[in-house]
Structure 1
Amino acid sequence: MATLKFKTTLMCSGCVSKVQGPLDKMEGVQNWTVDTDSADKTLTVEVDNPEVGEKVTEAVKKFGFECEPA
């Protein structure tokens, strides 16, 4: 298992709820959290395979938020 971190623009719980469904259902994602109090709004994702990181980025961006590896 690997832990990936991303800088995002997920500012509040409403933003997080928009991406919750896709991230919860994403194959290879075991757990994820967003620290909306941090300056980088860090999304931390535990994955089976680091290659899942691209799918995570695409899913967040699909909802209009920025997401890049931290």
Structure 2
Amino acid sequence: METIKFKTNINCGGCLKSVTPHLNELDSIESWKVDIENPDKILEVRLEGDQNEVVKAVTEAGFEIEKV
């Protein structure tokens, strides 16, 4: 299990609602959270598996994401 951080443009409650189903459907994710107070809107993910799945899920939800 590893924790990976990504910079995103998920910046409000509505954005969180949009991305939640995409991230929750990934079996490799144990937990995730977005620090919307951080200027870089850091998405912290605990997962066992391919981090590219996370990137794909967030992109499909319509958001930008890059590994920190």
Aligned residues: 68
Structure 1, unaligned runs of 5 or more:
none
1:40 and 2:40 matched: yes
TM-score by length of 1: 0.91
Runs ≥4 in structure 1, deviation > 2 angstroms? none
> Aligned partners of 1:12, 1:22: CA distance in 2, in Å?
16
**What residue in structure 1 maps to residue 63 of structure 2?**
65
Name the SS for the 1:26 alignment partner.
coil
User: Which residue in 2 is equivalent to 1:21?
Assistant: 21
Structure 1 stretch 56-65 or stretch 35-44: which is displaced more? 56-65
Query: How high is the TM-score relative to the length of structure 2?
Result: 0.93
SS at match of 2:10: coil
CA distance in 2, matches of 1:47, 1:61: 18
Identity %: 37
Aligned to 2:9: 9
* Equivalent in the alignment of 1:56: 54
Larger helix fraction of residues = 1
| 1:24-52 residue CA offsets vs partner (Å, 9 max, x unmatched) | 12011000000000011000000013x2x
